[in-house]
Every structure is written in structure tokens, then in C-alpha cells.
Amino acid sequence: HVRAEFPLETSKAHRILESVLGLRSSQLAIPRHVKVDAVWALVNAVSTRLAALEFVDEQRAGLRVTGRARPPVPPTSEEDLDRCQQIMRQGLARDQHVGDVFAPSAFNFMRFLQGHAVGQHAGSVAKLTKLFSAAHTWGPGSDGWHRYDQTWLAVDEKNVFGRTVKENGRILWRVGDTGTAHAN
């Protein structure tokens, strides 16, 4: 059972799935095959070392970047990397509209690695910069699985009209074995 093997208290992967699949709107709007594919992608994810970043101005789409992967390092095999890349390409090609609504950061990251391979734009430089920037505020939510997620409050500040007035990064830096998060 997933809750026994991957408890919400310690499993970021479980919290990621809950954040997308646990939403009432996603339960109603996301087709079953997309949910299955999301779990399959998470299970098959591999570490990817980058050899190069290729920047291009894609005119109306703006400044974009593609990451070129290096060969995998054991225990990841070429077969593992190929499988992961194929899952990303299939998701981008088949489910881009659902992904852009319910998992925009994940789909932008997949475009960074595989967008051009399926005839789409590369990843947005602005969105990837935010994704990899240090958060200036963070912390857990107050209830449910949110109380276990230190990144729950690492969000942009918005005004009453829903416009972003202060962007917030998404990365928490941890120092040594203390587990204390810092953003510098």
C-alpha cells in the first residue's frame, strides 16, 4: 500500500502526486490515462546530467532553453534514460494541454529536455529560472499532507486581482546535516 511504503511525512514523490491528483478539479478534469502516465513517469524518473544548455529566441514564444543530456552514470543505464525520455516525449505530444493547466512546471521542465524532439518549444528560460532560484519564503501548510511539505508556502505573492507582485523561487538550500533550510 502506497501510504505504508511512501508515507506523506517523508515522501516528496507521494506529496507531488497528492498535489496534482488529489485536487478535486483534477479528479474531475484529468483523464485516467494521464493520471496513470504521471505515476509511470515518477516511477521511471532518472537523474539527468547536463552536457550543455542551448538558448534560442523563439520569437513569440520568447527566450527558450534546451538541456542536452550527458550519458547516464550507474546505476542509471542507457535503457533507463531512453525509457524516461520516451515517457516525457509521449506526455508532451499527447497531454500538453492538460499538463499546461495542471502541472505547468513539470511540463516546462519536460520541454527543456524534450520539447524540440516532439516539435514543441523548448523550456521557458523565465520559468526555469524561477524553478531553480532560491525561495525567500517557505514553510509547511496548516493541514492535510501540506503540513509535511516545507515547500508548500514557497509561492509567489499576489495582489487582490491575482497578479504576481513578488516572485518567489522554488528551491530550499539545506546546510549540512542540520536539515535547516536557507535561501541566500
Give per-residue pLDDT as tens, 131-150. Answer: 889 999 999 999 888 888 88
Q: What is the pLDDT of residue 184?
A: 47
pLDDT surpasses 70 at 2: no
pLDDT digits (tens, 9 = 90+) for 9-22: 888 878 877 776 77
* Residues sharing a CB contact under 8 Å with residue 124, sequence separation 6 or more, in sequence order: 61, 62, 63, 64, 108, 111
Q: Which three cell numbers stand for residue 22?
A: 488529489
Query: How many CB atoms within 10 Å of residue 143?
Result: 7
Distance CA(171)–CA(154), nearest Å, equals 8
- Length reported for the chain: 184
Distance CA(79)–CA(87), nearest Å, equals 12
pLDDT digits (tens, 9 = 90+) for 43-72: 778 888 899 999 999 999 999 999 998 998
| Eight-state DSSP code of residue 134 | B
pTM attached to this predicted model: 0.77
Distance CA(35)–CA(20), nearest Å, equals 9
Distance CA(156)–CA(5), nearest Å, equals 32
Q: What is the pLDDT of residue 179?
A: 59
Average pLDDT over residues 106-133: 93
Distance CA(83)–CA(178), nearest Å, equals 36
Distance CA(16)–CA(35), nearest Å, equals 12
